[in-house]
Structure 1
Amino acid sequence: MMKFAKCKAPLLISALLSTALLSGCDGDDGHDGINGIDGTNGIDGTNGTDGSNGVSALVNITELLAGNAQCPFGGQQIETGLDTNNNNLLDVAEVDASQTQVICNVSQRQLSVELVGRYQSDVYGLSAAEIVDYHAASQTAFVVNAQSGKVDLLDLSTLSQTPVVGEAGYTLNNITKLAELDLNADTGLALLGAVNSVSVSGDLLAAAVERADANGNATQGNGIVAFYRLSASSLPQYLSSVDVGALPDNVTFSPDGSVLLVANEGEPNSDYSVDPEGSVAIIDIINNSPANVATLVGFSDFNVGAARASELSADINITGPGATVAQDLEPEYIAVSPDSQFAYVSLQENNAIAVIDIQAKTVTRINALGAKDFGLADNKIDASDKDDMVNLKSYAGVYGMYQPDTIVSYRWNNTDFIVSANEGDARDYDGFSEEGRAEDLTLDTNHPQFASIQDDTQLARLKVTTSIGDDNNDGLVDRIMAYGGRSFSIWTAQGQQVYDSGSDFEQITSALLGMNFNNNNDENKGDSRSDDKGPEPEALAIGQLGDSTYAFIGLERTSGFMIYDISNPFAVSFVDYVHNRDFTADFAIDGGDIEGQATQAGDLGPEGMKFIAANNSPTGLPLLIIGNEVSGTTAVYQLSFK
């Protein structure tokens, strides 16, 4: 397991202090000559000449942002020199390069992240470890083994505080699988497909399962949620199932345990002939048991001509062929406010977040998230997988739709904030696809990227949408719109962005990994996803340690996770990047087909995360559990202050 500490370059303190003391001081005037002593033929001494003004020594300090090639975690560059032209500025020509010093920020040592546990399923490329949750009383992790239709039970009770370091982490397998929940067998229902999500509240577990329709469309039937009773000493007991909407993709209990919420994505079938409506199911939990029927909260009131159509922003992507708004909106993930009053629902393909009043069971509002300007210096990207280099640039007229996958909610100053992992996603089906490359677009001749979209080393290969971007409907693209923000963001409940990590993820991974940044998760090819969605942040969890709130953001393609201190959403700071991946392993994963050293590659494709507070942890220290979809591994990290 590789954890990157920060470097510290040597600083000539004495030289720096000396030059600082000299700064701005003029030369002293010459003293008058001393009169000669009277005596025979003595003569008076002559006056000394005035001294010339001295040259000022100046110091220039430049802040280095996280991701700097020399200081991956940021720092300062200190330049000194003489102000030879007396303009009180240290010009480039005046800098004494031999005295330039760089001080890299020391790693935020108060937070230590160490690998202490790992389960290796030996199932690669088949989603054997996706969404994870944890039951404190039995010290069991529940891991979605999606394509199998099962949930794996992993025993964390034997974990210790002893970390596993370095290459040993790549093949670590010290967690035992206790059992599995077979949802097909337990429910006895026909046409069930993959398990998509799991959530635990107290001694109640809920798992979402997709279902085929009567015509054989694999995910277009109404799915179910299966409920189990958990205990500290025995295996889970199946309770019941509740019908929900089409393609239930995420389940989550409210913090107070009073309801279970389900994001029903409602994706179309391959030829786009069947397109179910997206919805959110609310299942009441009464006396610690689920109700028999769910309430579906839909979006038909926002359809053209319906009562709330005027509330829908034009910036919300409604692009499916012939689709109503209710059909086109696709709930992906749900975060619930800490007071259990509101559900925040990511509508990934639509680039929006819906707000639902849980008690009223109604949609309060739908927030359009807008576009990220990749023309700004803070938002620069590497847009090509054919440039054979790290090439982060700003591109005027190019934008990214945030399109978050996982979202979470927390409070600061009695106000709800939403944290989003801005993965991006396209509608790409046999019957309809909006996915293209920038070179396929017809731009206005005045567009600043008119030439660069024909260059494979610049923008030509960038994956973009062909559905939007022609703002004046003249047949020419005015804005090149890519997928995802390559970042994480913090939003208010009203949809105002208060923070975005900009180009941090690519800056930091390129500084630390070199050409292995923006790698894919099914082979070590290096810089192979720059033309798509870069590191592709997807998984997300937050946790409270001491007085600080941390966000953990999993990078689906590059693998590993970023850590940020988000205690104050208006003063966010980068903390660390941690990964357990061997970028030298020679392997290729194509579905269930494996070539090479996949068992040596480490953890690939973080899909789900769960933070465990110290009081619920088997080791007595906070833990972070991560399900890695491509490697089929579940990793457990220990968090402590050192």
Structure 2
Amino acid sequence: ATAQAQTTPAISRPSATLTVAESAGSVSIPLSIANPGTAASTVQVVLQAFGTATVGADFIYASTQTITFPAGATGSQTLTIPILDDAAAEETEYFVVRLLNPTNATVSATANDVLVYIRDNDTPAPVRAGNVALSLLQSYQTAPPFSGTTQINSAEISAFDASTKRLYVANSIGGKLDILSLTNPAAIAPVASINISSYGGINSVYVRNGLVACAIEGTNPQANGSVVFFDQNGVFLKQVTVGAMPDMITMSPDGRYVITANEGEPNAAYTTDPEGSVSVIDLQGGIASLTQANVTTATFTAYNSQAAALRTQGIRIYGGLAASPSTVAQDLEPEYVAVSANSQTAYITLQENNALAVLDLTTKQITSLRPLGFSDHTQPGRGLDASDQTADVLIANWPIKGMRLPDALAAFEVNGTPYLLTANEGDARDYSGFSEQVRLGATAYVLD
């Protein structure tokens, strides 16, 4: 007869995370064993020095626990940890235990932690003040969005003209500028649908007093784009060239300047990376006399020799391939523009770079780059849900700092003091030739 080799027992955790309500009284961690042996197997469950929950205040764990699987046992063994219900309104807290020092068994070195979330039950739900009442008047579908499973139309950016009571919608996937009448908001009516494809791809639209300006990227997105002007009925007026991939368009409060944020994103392989820029179109002479001579495109080439200094300041300069890194001007990607109340200064978010650019509209020159810093997620009120692997939304503090990476931007004044308001979307570059997105894990990305 042939003797069969004995397989070593393996002890495992139930999952990487568990969630327990603060009022539950306890949390149970069932441990499993595979290939139980003829002798007992044990494992220690050790509390780790990592977490925001406090022993004695949020849970009880006096000392390391040893879990024993009797010889031949196939069932699970459960560790029960008492949870304490305090009266403090706080964000989700957590602690970590680790399976260590097995005897007559093995434990995976990369799947031996259990992070236990304690979901707070003391934070009151916001009280509805009832100061604002919204009611749906009407919704409108500009065109069928899908043909089978293929999207054929969209409605991404809209701009409303109070003088004509018309809404202009950038239908980027359909390659159209859709015009709707809101004369009666309860009965939205179509006016026209303008085919934009002959100019390029529509990214954004702005309108004021019947003058419609569309930001158009080229058929080759890495080439220069354009701004195409239409009247209120969608009749073509003028077209001028701006920088690569104009993504957002706006107008100064005094109506003199139309400004585009030319994002200049690379192609998917990251083999072509155009420079980011900001184009300023001077309409002082009126739309009828507009020519290319009225367009100034402000670039960042003056900063190309300052990459190291910019990084030291906290501005992210990191794009391009290892063999051909991007210049500063290529790496900066203008996302959104806001203009000061006096129409003298434009502020531009550089989302991927976690920075803000300042443009003097008189000289049409970039005057400064400013880092936007980090949010300290250890601080109260700055928690985040750091995992997409849990079923619940668990806002907790973590020992990390997060970049703001703003998308949209607004400028306004209160009692003569100017303010900027940013929508800190967060973003990452993710192309076939370059990606900064990494899932954190013990085997994939070593943190310590």
Fold match by TM threshold 0.5? yes
Paired residues of 1:349 and 1:425 also in contact (CA < 8 A): yes
Return the letter of the residue paired with 1:367. Answer: R
Matched, 1:225 2:238: no
Instruction: Tell me the secondary structure at the aligned position of residue 304 of structure 1.
Output: helix
Q: Which residue of 1 aligns with 2:145?
A: 123
Q: Which residue of 2 aligns with 1:414?
A: 416
Shift of 1:237: 2.1
Return the letter of the residue paired with 2:194. Answer: L
Matched, 1:348 2:345: no
Change (3 A) 1:184 1:284: same
Q: Which residue of 2 aligns with 1:515?
A: none
Q: Which residue of 2 aligns with 1:557?
A: none
Paired residues of 2:407 and 2:424 also in contact (CA < 8 A): yes
| Correspondence 1:398-547 to 2 at 5 A | 398-439=400-441, 440-444=444-448
Q: Which residue of 2 aligns with 1:484?
A: none
Post-superposition Cα deviations, 1:353-372, rounded to whole Å, max 9, x if no partner, equal 11111111111211111111
Return the letter of the residue paired with 1:389. Answer: D
Matched, 1:200 2:207: yes
Return the letter of the residue paired with 1:245. Answer: G
Determine which structure has the larger helix proportion and give its number: 1
Q: Which residue of 1 aligns with 2:258?
A: 260
Change (3 A) 1:340 1:116: same
Paired residues of 1:247 and 1:265 also in contact (CA < 8 A): yes
Shift of 1:143: 0.7
Post-superposition Cα deviations, 1:141-188, rounded to whole Å, max 9, x if no partner, equal 00110122211111211224xxxxxxxxxxxxx522221122235xxx
Query: Which of 92, 103, 109 is equivalent to 2:130?
Result: 109
Query: Which of 182, 192, 200 is equivalent to 2:195?
Result: 182
Q: Which residue of 2 aligns with 1:635?
A: none
Shift of 1:302: 0.8
Return the letter of the residue paired with 1:210. Answer: E
Paired residues of 2:339 and 2:347 also in contact (CA < 8 A): yes
Q: Which residue of 1 aligns with 2:334?
A: 331
Change (3 A) 1:104 1:379: closer
For the residues of structure 2 that align with 1:359 and 1:282, how far apart are their CA atoms? 10
Q: Which residue of 2 aligns with 1:317?
A: 316
Instruction: Tell me the secondary structure at the aligned position of residue 115 of structure 1.
Output: coil
For the residues of structure 2 that align with 1:126 and 1:352, how far apart are their CA atoms? 35
Post-superposition Cα deviations, 1:611-635, rounded to whole Å, max 9, x if no partner, equal xxxxxxxxxxxxxxxxxxxxxxxxx
Return the letter of the residue paired with 1:441. Answer: Y
Query: Which runs of 5 or more residues in structure 2 are unaligned?
Result: 1-86, 93-121
Post-superposition Cα deviations, 1:403-440, rounded to whole Å, max 9, x if no partner, equal 11111111112122111111111111111111111223
| Correspondence 1:557-568 to 2 at 5 A | none
Change (3 A) 1:176 1:313: farther
Shift of 1:108: 2.5
Q: Which residue of 2 aligns with 1:618?
A: none
| Correspondence 1:613-624 to 2 at 5 A | none
Paired residues of 1:351 and 1:402 also in contact (CA < 8 A): yes
For the residues of structure 2 that align with 1:103 and 1:271, how far apart are their CA atoms? 49
For the residues of structure 2 that align with 1:269 and 1:390, how far apart are their CA atoms? 35
Identity percentage over the alignment? Answer: 39
Change (3 A) 1:104 1:205: same
Runs of 4+ in 1 over 4 A off after TM superposition: 62-65, 101-106, 124-127, 309-313
Instruction: Tell me the secondary structure at the aligned position of residue 346 of structure 1.
Output: strand
Shift of 1:375: 2.1
- Count of residue correspondences: 319
For the residues of structure 2 that align with 1:252 and 1:385, how far apart are their CA atoms? 36
Shift of 1:312: 6.7
Return the letter of the residue paired with 1:319. Answer: Y
Change (3 A) 1:127 1:434: farther
Greater relative CO, 1 or 2 (CA 8 Å, sep 6+): 1
Alpha carbon RMSD of aligned pairs, Å?
A: 2.5
Shift of 1:131: 1.0
For the residues of structure 1 that align with 2:157 and 2:316, how far apart are their CA atoms? 27
For the residues of structure 1 that align with 2:131 and 2:172, how far apart are their CA atoms? 37
Change (3 A) 1:285 1:138: same
Shift of 1:305: 5.6
Return the letter of the residue paired with 2:351. Answer: Q
For the residues of structure 1 that align with 2:124 and 2:223, how far apart are their CA atoms? 59
Change (3 A) 1:104 1:323: closer
Matched, 1:284 2:282: yes
Change (3 A) 1:336 1:63: farther
Shift of 1:314: 3.3
Paired residues of 1:313 and 1:368 also in contact (CA < 8 A): no
Paired residues of 1:183 and 1:226 also in contact (CA < 8 A): no
Shift of 1:109: 2.2
Return the letter of the residue paired with 1:249. Answer: D
For the residues of structure 2 that align with 1:355 and 1:203, how far apart are their CA atoms? 29
Q: Which residue of 1 aligns with 2:394?
A: 391
Shift of 1:103: 8.4
For the residues of structure 1 that align with 2:351 and 2:213, how far apart are their CA atoms? 23
For the residues of structure 2 that align with 1:431 and 1:176, how far apart are their CA atoms? 45
Post-superposition Cα deviations, 1:541-597, rounded to whole Å, max 9, x if no partner, equal xxxxxxxxxxxxxxxxxxxxxxxxxxxxxxxxxxxxxxxxxxxxxxxxxxxxxxxxx
Instruction: Tell me the secondary structure at the aligned position of residue 173 of structure 2.
Output: helix
Query: Which runs of 5 or more residues in structure 1 are unaligned?
Result: 1-61, 69-100, 161-173, 213-217, 445-642
